[in-house]
């Protein structure tokens, strides 16, 4: 059974073949979705285009989420190509590397601003631009978060604050868009080796700690997260909105 047969999805945040966003893209494609991918700059484009070609994805668009003209152009292109949209996947996050170590009280004004703009406000901007397409299909918006949004984690610092704000945005967007049938949810994934995770100090220790304490006694994979994303993007979750779904082997329920 192809859960997304006939559906169209745009996925932002593929950086390489280890990205959670790429695992989601492959799962969506396997279940019949027609996909569009984006890239923020030429360096990432060189990685994304070959991946897209490997899965027969022929819509690959530039989108720096800090630029409204890029966002508007992406959804104008999708409106012209598809006229509707079923799923928007927001897998975008960034904070300067120097902000992810040391004391949180030393966070710079500029570092705080860029973390919140890229990791959080971008969801709002993308949802606004995608709304006319999503409303036509009573579509689904999905973003990615992490437990550091709810409890203080070593070296997560300003990204934890950005993810907390992101989860609040999920709730407010769900409330705002719900009357038109558009659902908004987040997946809180356990730590996974990705390009963005490489910037977090002590990440190896984090992985080891998770595998030791999580009830399932293992780390999660991109494929684990992709299966949850498949559920939230499909009609199986048609009555689910404003939620944060943990995919972390149960780690979030354990007293640390």
The residues that are catalytic are 146, 156
Q: By three-state DSSP, how is residue 151 classified?
A: coil
pLDDT value for 190: 86
Which residue is it, tokens 């027609």? 34
How many domains would you assign to the chain?
Answer: 1
Alpha carbons within 13 A on the beta-carbon side of 67: 10
Q: What is the pLDDT along the chain (256 residues), one digit of tens a residue?
A: 799 999 999 999 999 999 999 999 999 999 999 999 999 999 999 999 999 999 999 999 999 999 999 999 999 999 999 999 999 999 999 999 999 988 999 999 999 999 999 999 999 999 999 999 999 999 999 999 999 999 998 889 999 999 999 999 999 999 999 999 999 999 999 887 665 655 555 667 777 778 788 898 888 899 999 999 999 999 999 999 999 999 999 989 886 6
In a domain, 242, yes or no: yes
> Which string of DSSP letters, residue by residue, matches 54-110?
HTT--EEEE--TT-HHHHHHHHHHHHHHTS--SEEEE------GGGGSS-GGG--HH
In a domain, 3, yes or no: no
| Tokens at 36, concatenated | 């569009």
In a domain, 133, yes or no: yes
In a domain, 187, yes or no: yes
| Tokens at 108, concatenated | 């710079």
Distance CA 28, CA 234 (A): 10
Residue 66's CATH number: 3.40.50.720
In a domain, 114, yes or no: yes
In a domain, 256, yes or no: no
In a domain, 255, yes or no: no
pLDDT value for 256: 66
- Which domain covers residue 221, as residue numbers? 8-247
- Of the candidates 146, 143, 125, 224, the one whose C-alpha atom is nearest the C-alpha of residue 184 is 143
Distance CA 133, CA 189 (A): 28
- Of the candidates 186, 165, 160, 189, the one whose C-alpha atom is nearest the C-alpha of residue 242 is 186
In a domain, 23, yes or no: yes
CA distances from 244 to 19, 50, 252 (A): 20, 32, 12
């Amino acid at each position: 059974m192809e859960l997304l047969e006939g559906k169209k999805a745009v996925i932002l945040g593929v950086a390489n073949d280890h990205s959670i966003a790429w695992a989601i893209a492959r799962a969506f494609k396997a279940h019949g979705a027609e996909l569009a991918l984006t890239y923020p700059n030429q360096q990432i484009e060189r990685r994304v285009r070959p991946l897209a070609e490997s899965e027969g994805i022929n819509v690959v668009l530039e989108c720096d989420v800090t630029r409204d003209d890029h966002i508007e152009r992406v959804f104008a292109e999708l409106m012209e190509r598809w006229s509707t949209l079923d799923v928007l996947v927001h897998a975008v996050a960034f904070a300067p590397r120097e902000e992810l170590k040391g004391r949180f009280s030393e966070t710079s004004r500029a570092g705080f601003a860029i973390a919140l703009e890229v990791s959080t406000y971008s969801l709002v901007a993308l949802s606004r631009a995608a709304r006319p397409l999503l409303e036509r299909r009573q579509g689904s918006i999905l973003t990615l978060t992490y437990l550091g949004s709810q409890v203080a984690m070593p070296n997560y610092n300003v990204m934890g604050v950005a993810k907390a704000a992101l989860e609040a945005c999920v709730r407010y967007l769900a409330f705002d868009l719900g009357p038109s049938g558009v659902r908004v949810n987040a997946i809180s994934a356990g730590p996974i080796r990705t390009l963005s995770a490489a910037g977090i100090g002590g990440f190896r220790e984090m992985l080891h700690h998770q595998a030791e304490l999580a009830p399932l006694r293992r780390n999660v994979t991109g494929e684990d997260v992709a299966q949850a994303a498949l559920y939230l993007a499909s009609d199986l979750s048609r009555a689910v909105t404003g939620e944060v779904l943990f995919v972390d082997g149960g780690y979030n329920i354990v007293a640390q």
